[in-house]
Amino acid sequence: MRNPTRDDVARHANVSGATVSRVLSGRNDWSISDDTRRRVMDSVQRLGYRANHSARALASGQTNMVALWINHLNTPFHSQIAHMIGFEQKPDRYRVLITELEGLEAEHSEEAHSEFVDGLIVHESAEWVNTLRKSYPQLRLPIVTIGATVVENTDHIAVDLLSGQIDALHHLIGVGCRRIAYLVNEDASQLSEARTKGYTTVMREAGLKEEFILTPVRNQTRGTARQAVRDYVERRGLPDAIISLNDDMAVGANRALRDLNLRVPEDVCLVGCDGIDDTIYQTPTLTTIVQPLEDMCRLAWSFLLARLNDPELPLQEATLKSTLVIRESSRR
């Protein structure tokens, strides 16, 4: 038995083949009534019709697919971003192709690039976007970047982590902390990184000595953070507070402090960054700098749709503030 075709659906619904295509494209079309749309979708279901996406792409020049470039998916933070981007696109009938960049090199950005997508959303990977454009100078692919890193002449939603870091440090100093160590991986410890800049700025203004608890380059896992904190405390003694690059590393630090029979916050205060759900379920609950992920992903999708509909739009830019949420781990 042959598979049903678009024309079979058209005959069953008593409409033209073009009308079936417009309904199945998922795009709003004022010329198609709600009754016609319902008849087409009912016929699709009754006949078991499955659209040929490759044929549709060849005919329309659009694939109804977008790509999300993200460093990895093995942390709650990054998984949440991927989930929210996927959630935001559903009303618009797009598919999201997720590419993990971890283990690849930006110099080979063509390995991550797919010509079969209509647009691209990129999280915290400026070097990838720059390399892609250098490799494909004629590329007109709509791109939206999200996160703290901004790419020149590219639609973007930036997250202001600097102000959140400053607020966190002022809070720690306000509760009496003087030795405040920054738990960070080596490549994020440079002053160009917003949280590092915030840390060094506040510490110097307060006349306090900077202390860095370093994990290896690009390694921000709970396990490496746990080991780094244990080694640091055993070698350098216990700081009054530890402020972490992200929540995953803060969770690892919390485990390390418990390994050493130290109490949070009585012996040492602890602050993370990102706002993942795990922070609520830790003992004690973790103070964290919350990133507005829902707003970031919603705006990213809005920006991309706008660019897809009008490639000549002026540059789209937005900056979202992070928020310090104070919990048990830093209350004294």
Q: Tell me which of 1 and 180 has the higher pLDDT.
A: 180
Q: Is residue 56 part of a domain?
A: no
Domain with 69 in it: 65-159+293-321
Domain count across the chain: 3
Mean pLDDT over the full length of the chain: 87
| Alpha helical stretches, state H, the chain | 6-13, 17-24, 34-47, 53-60, 76-89, 126-135, 161-174, 194-205, 222-236, 247-259, 293-309
pLDDT band at 112 (very low <50, low <70, confident <90, very high): low
Which CATH number does the domain housing residue 74 bear? Answer: 3.40.50.2300
Q: Assess whether 77 and 130 both reside in one domain.
A: yes
Q: Is residue 58 part of a domain?
A: no
Question: Per mean pLDDT, which of 46-55, 145-154, 190-199, 201-210 is the most reliable?
Answer: 201-210
Lowest pLDDT segment from 103-107, 284-288, 310-314: 103-107
Reference 93, options 23, 155, 34; nearest CA is 23
Model-level pTM?
0.79
Q: Is the pLDDT of residue 322 over 50?
A: yes
CA quadruple 108, 112, 117, 123: dihedral positive or negative? negative
Q: Is the pLDDT of residue 131 over 90?
A: no
Q: Assess whether 167 and 287 both reside in one domain.
A: yes
Q: Is the pLDDT of residue 279 over 90?
A: yes
pLDDT at 50: 65
Q: Is the pLDDT of residue 94 over 50?
A: yes
pLDDT at 286: 98
| Local structure of 270: helix, strand or coil | strand
Reference 331, options 301, 287, 277; nearest CA is 287
Q: Assess whether 199 and 148 both reside in one domain.
A: no
Q: Is the pLDDT of residue 54 over 50?
A: no
Q: Is residue 57 part of a domain?
A: no
Lowest pLDDT segment from 65-69, 167-171, 227-231, 275-279: 65-69
pLDDT band at 57 (very low <50, low <70, confident <90, very high): very low
> What is the average per-residue pLDDT within 190-205?
91
pLDDT digits (tens, 9 = 90+) for 226-268: 999 999 999 999 999 999 999 999 999 999 999 999 999 999 9
